[in-house]
């Protein structure tokens, strides 16, 4: 079975494909795969923190939902180990854009069985967030004394995401 395609296949921003609706006649995208992101807000949600550190992108890019979930997990683990429950982690982007993939057959005789480039629209395989340059992706609310540990947690997430980022 073929696995997930590399993120470079979906990194560039294309025209948004997002037409889903609670009304059947208006929902043109059928069978959208479920989101991998489990929580958009984590940590202590009641406390007001006096400092905020965010992860920003340096370019226009599409971020797949599994990359966002991976980044969220590594940040949460680092913050929970160092600060306990004394932080508020927020994922600031939502993956609305539906990704399509036109599956191709390979091997001997595949040209006789596959439809080729006719009917090449593709099926929905995942979702992605379309992010503009200098847009915050993930933010962490912390106390002023914990700024350095929050910055290091966000820098761990940069390795999990495609493209270039900075922490501020």
Question: Which own/partner pairs from 3-8 qualify as long-range (CB within 8 Å, at least 24 positions apart)?
Answer: 4/66, 4/126, 5/101, 5/125, 7/64, 7/67, 7/162, 8/162
**Residue 139 located in a structural domain:** yes
**Residue 62 located in a structural domain:** yes
**Residue 61 located in a structural domain:** yes
Nearest to 121 by CA among 91, 141, 101, 146: 101
**Residue 40 located in a structural domain:** no
**Residue 96 located in a structural domain:** yes
pLDDT at site 114:
80
- The one-digit pLDDT tens for each residue of the chain (168 residues) are 468 888 888 999 988 898 888 888 888 888 889 999 999 999 999 999 999 999 999 999 999 999 999 999 999 999 999 999 999 999 999 999 999 998 887 888 887 788 878 877 889 999 999 999 999 999 999 999 999 999 999 999 999 999 999 999
CATH number assigned to the domain comprising residue 145: 3.90.1170.10
Total-model pTM: 0.89
Residue 133 contacts residue 58 (beta carbons within 8 Å): yes
pLDDT at site 1:
46
User: How many separate domains does the chain show?
Assistant: 1
- Note down the domain range covering 80: 50-104+120-168
């Amino acid at each position: 079975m073929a696995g997930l395609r590399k993120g470079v296949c979906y990194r560039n921003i294309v025209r948004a494909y997002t037409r889903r609706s609670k009304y059947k006649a208006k929902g043109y995208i059928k069978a959208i795969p479920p989101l991998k992101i489990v929580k958009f807000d984590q940590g202590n949600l009641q406390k007001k923190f006096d400092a905020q550190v965010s992860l920003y992108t340096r370019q226009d890019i599409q971020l797949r939902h599994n990359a966002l979930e991976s980044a969220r997990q590594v940040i949460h683990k680092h913050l929970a180990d160092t600060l306990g429950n004394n932080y508020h982690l927020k994922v600031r982007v939502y993956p609305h854009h539906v990704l399509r993939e036109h599956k191709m057959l390979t091997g001997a005789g595949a040209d006789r069985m596959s439809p080729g480039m006719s009917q090449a629209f593709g099926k929905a395989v995942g979702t992605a967030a379309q992010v503009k340059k200098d847009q915050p992706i993930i933010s962490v609310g912390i106390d002023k004394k914990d700024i350095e540990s929050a910055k290091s947690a966000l820098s761990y997430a940069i390795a999990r995401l495609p493209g270039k980022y900075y922490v501020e």
